[in-house]
Structure 1
Amino acid sequence: MTQLTRRTSNRTVRDLQREVDSIFDQFFGRGSNDDASTVWAPRTDLSETDDAFRLRLDVPGTTKDDITINLQNNTLTVSGERSSERQKEGEEYVRVERAFGNFHRTFTLPDAVDPESVEATHEEGVLTIHVPKTKTSTRRQIEIQ
């Protein structure tokens, strides 16, 4: 009679994931080194209405003074820096997953935006940028005769 038993490997999937993470961290210069400056890109939602575009960027741990927004030739660039928390005496990081350092995102906008009316707000770690469309570019429904 054959008995089926489950063998557990000495290596778990979690161990393999940690090794792969470590390899990527070393390759891209990330990791627990508190002094390393990391370039990262905030997660962004982009929505469109009939009269405007709205961008929402996740930038927790920043203030409005940490962020710069530039619009030139229909290219909107959001950049800034999120400072790293310093280690306390006797504390050593085992794993660091939150990105710190410089960040930037660049968006190409259509010609039909009004660059003079762009507005931005920063609230609870979310940067919201409102980019109005020009009057000539707003969508309207055409009735069929």
Structure 2
Amino acid sequence: MTLIKYNPSLPSTENKSFSSLLDRFFNESFNGIGKEMQHFAPQVDIAESKKAFEISVAAPGMKKSDFNIDMSDGAITISGERKFEEKKDEKNYHSVETQYGSFSRTFHLPDNIKEDKIEASYQDGILNIVIPKDEQKELKRTIQIK
């Protein structure tokens, strides 16, 4: 008897051979993007210096036209999509570990920024966003105890 790991997304294993289960797994997972591969969450680094906040989004394989950056209500939203391009004549994939799909990340910003001076660049698979601080607006203050 062969043990098969329980997977609730697969139909009942009754009257199914192990070979047919493997075929279904490989056909759904690698011959096109399955449901598990439709969400992409790029890694983000956030740094702060005296003059600015910096957001770096790791998204190799994308073009700068694949990104959207929006500011609204004190938050910056970075969204985009990395599409899987399968050329059926050239390759048969046996494993796809790269994430594909659409993503959206929102970060709430402090009040001491210059929204009109935000800059973004994309180079070597990294989207860099520089959010300058407004030195006129000081967020830190000391509260006197009464």
TM-score, length-scaled by structure 1: 0.69
Deviations 1:47-106 (A, max 9, x none): 000111001101111111110000111111101111112143274322211011212211
Question: CA shift at 1:34, angstroms?
Answer: 1.6
Equivalent in the alignment of 1:45: 45
CA distance in 2, matches of 1:33, 1:95: 10
Once the two structures are superposed, the pairs formed by residues 8-47 of structure 1 within 5 Å of their partners are 31-36=29-34, 38-47=38-47
CA distance in 2, matches of 1:77, 1:31: 30
The answer on whether the counterparts of 1:120 and 1:127 sit within 8 Å (CA) in structure 2 is: yes
- Compute the RMSD of aligned alpha carbons: 2.9
Equivalent in the alignment of 1:3: none
- Percent of aligned positions that are identical: 32
Once the two structures are superposed, the pairs formed by residues 36-75 of structure 1 within 5 Å of their partners are 36=34, 38-75=38-75
User: SS at 1:65's partner residue?
Assistant: helix
User: SS at 2:39's partner residue?
Assistant: coil
Equivalent in the alignment of 1:82: 82
Structure 1: where are the runs of 5+ without partners?
1-18, 141-145
CA distance in 2, matches of 1:81, 1:111: 29
Q: Which amino acid aligns with 2:30?
A: S
CA distance in 2, matches of 1:129, 1:66: 15
User: SS at 1:92's partner residue?
Assistant: coil
CA distance in 2, matches of 1:138, 1:111: 9
Equivalent in the alignment of 1:5: none
The answer on whether the counterparts of 1:76 and 1:106 sit within 8 Å (CA) in structure 2 is: yes
- Matched residue count: 118
The answer on whether the counterparts of 1:42 and 1:104 sit within 8 Å (CA) in structure 2 is: no
User: SS at 2:95's partner residue?
Assistant: coil
Q: 1:31 to 1:138 in 2, by over 3 A?
A: farther
Structure 2: where are the runs of 5+ without partners?
11-27, 141-146
Equivalent in the alignment of 2:115: 115
Q: Which amino acid aligns with 2:79?
A: S
CA distance in 2, matches of 1:72, 1:90: 44
User: SS at 1:31's partner residue?
Assistant: helix
The answer on whether the counterparts of 1:114 and 1:131 sit within 8 Å (CA) in structure 2 is: yes
CA distance in 2, matches of 1:62, 1:126: 9
TM-score, length-scaled by structure 2: 0.69
